[in-house]
Amino acid sequence: MKNFVYANPTRILFGKGQIAALAKQVPESAKVLLTYGGGSIKANGVHAQVMAALAGRAVTEFGGIEPNPTYETMMRAASAARGAGADFILAVGGGSVIDGSKFLAAALKHDGADPWDLVTGAARIRGALPLGVVLTLPATGSESNCGAVVTHKGQGAKLAFGHPALYPAFAVLDPEATRSLPPRQVANGVGDAFVHVVEQYLTVPAGGMVQDAFAEGLLRTLVAVGPKTLADADDMEARANLMWAANQALNGLISVGVPQDWSTHMIGHELTALYGVDHARSLSIVLPAMLKVRRAEKRAKLVQYAANVWCLFDGTEDQRIDAAIERTESFFRSLGLPVRLAEVGLGGEAVPAVRANLEAHGMTALGEDRGVTPAVAEKVLAAAR
Ligand code: NZQ
Ligand code: ZN
């Protein structure tokens, strides 16, 4: 295990009724820009609870942040924020609203030319407006990490970026706010969180016993509560565990001191940018194929994954690895997630197109050992057909 510093400054307020705690979390003198998506928060009562908790503060609203938030939309949000003199952003929604708001928070403190430079790395993030979150969709972990993914529609690019200034000050996680989620979004959330853990765990052994055991516990929890949440919308215990597991999956804890992969995510982002595939669905297609193609490099961890996540102890190592990959696919299928490109209507044309995009975005040495070159990515996509 390598040396590490672990510091996650986001305060979590977890549980039923915690939206009311906003009254204490948002400064009384704040000029708040409340950011949200397509309107689910108005239909399910979350917006009303937020407004009640913010009573007495100046609040301006900016809605219409789309899934896979765009630079174009968030530049309009920046004008609205400037017009209102906002000094605090409250993001109410899922990963898209939160990520778009992180970009906005950094853009509002950027005095250079085009804030898109903050995403590409052409300019440095030097600060951000304070950001708070009310989470409505357990999936990304964005509510307590400092990363974000934004799409530039004009350029057809979906890029990840991050900076410590982008950690939310606090995040409210009320499982009741997730009750209105359609089954597709619940399944997406479970799949996304599962792949987040895998990308930080299923690499090569690094002696991180705590990280490994925590990761395996999160994976087993997701396998248990994902189907329960889908089967019974009123199972609040399952919902609460899903929300906490998805948060812990990507708050930075399980990746400290150990290698990370993220190649499935980077390939998935290109599938979303090119074809609009939901983020989690791009991952459920790419991950099993990635494990097949990178079986030799990941062999030791695949054996560990087979034993500690899927309880596979019988047969040869190869049989256990085969079975673990098969279980992963069946788990995704049981949630209704696709595991082949054809299931989202894509054929062979996607393979060279994704490869070309990866090359254009400099994604040419991915994975824990930088071994996922464009040629390997092409093999992975071919295995996902
Ligand atoms: O826009 P509204 O009307 O709110 O509807 C949303 C949206 O249509 C709906 N929804 C959210 N909460 C709801 C609800 N509907 C009913 N009831 C509720 N309680 O769900 C739809 C999808 O929302 P979205 O925010 O797009 O989903 P998700 O949380 O999965 O976020 C996906 C985005 O996060 C990025 C992805 O790339 C994608 O752009 N990611 C961010 C990460 C990060 N910052 O750490 C890591 C991830 O790997 C991921 O890349
Ligand atoms: Zn993800």
Q: Is residue 82 part of a domain?
A: yes
Q: Are residues 216 and 320 in the same domain?
A: yes
- 80 and 64 share a domain? yes
Same domain, 164 and 303: no
Q: Which ligand is nearest to the CA of 68?
A: 1
pTM for the model stands at: 0.98
DSSP 70: B
Do 332 and 207 share a structural domain?
yes
In total, how many domains does the chain have? 2
pLDDT surpassing 90 at residue 272: yes
| Long-range contacts, 104-107 (Cβ 8 Å, 24+) | 104/33, 104/35, 104/74, 104/77, 104/78, 104/129, 105/129, 105/130, 105/131, 105/165, 105/166, 106/163, 106/165, 106/166, 107/74, 107/75, 107/78
Kindly list the protein residues whose Cβ atom lies closer than 6 A to any atom of ligand 1: 37-41, 44, 67-68, 93-97, 99, 136-137, 139-142, 145, 147-149, 177-178, 180-181, 185, 188, 192, 250, 265, 279
Residue 112 has pLDDT above 90, yes or no: no
Same domain, 288 and 157: no
Residue 133 and residue 242 in one domain: no
Ligand 1 atom with minimal separation from the 177 CA: 19
CATH number of the domain enclosing 259: 1.20.1090.10
Cα separation of the two ends of the chain: 37
Ligand located closest to 139 CA: 1
Neighbours of ion ligand 2 (CB under 5 A): 192
Instruction: Choose one of 123, 145, 177: the last residue of a domain.
Output: 177
On whether both 16 and 123 belong to a single domain, the answer is: yes
Domain boundary among 177, 212, 227: 177
Ligand nearest to the CA of 279: 1
Minimum-distance ligand 1 atom for the alpha carbon of 195: 48
State the CATH number of the domain containing residue 133. Answer: 3.40.50.1970
- Kindly write down the DSSP assignment for every residue of 366-382, as one continuous string: BSTTS-B-HHHHHHHHH
Residues 16 and 163 in one domain: yes
Reported as a single tens digit per residue, the pLDDT across 173-199 is 999 999 999 999 999 999 999 999 999
Question: Is 121 in the same domain as 225?
Answer: no
The DSSP secondary-structure symbol of 35 reads E
Atom of ligand 1 nearest to the CA of 179: 19
Cα 8 off chain centre by: 17
Tens-digit pLDDT profile for residues 128-166: 999 999 999 999 999 999 999 999 999 999 999 999 999
> Ligand 1: distance of its center to the CA of 355 in Å?
26
Q: Which domain holds residue 126?
A: 11-177
Per-residue pLDDT reduced to its tens digit, 333-344: 999 999 999 999
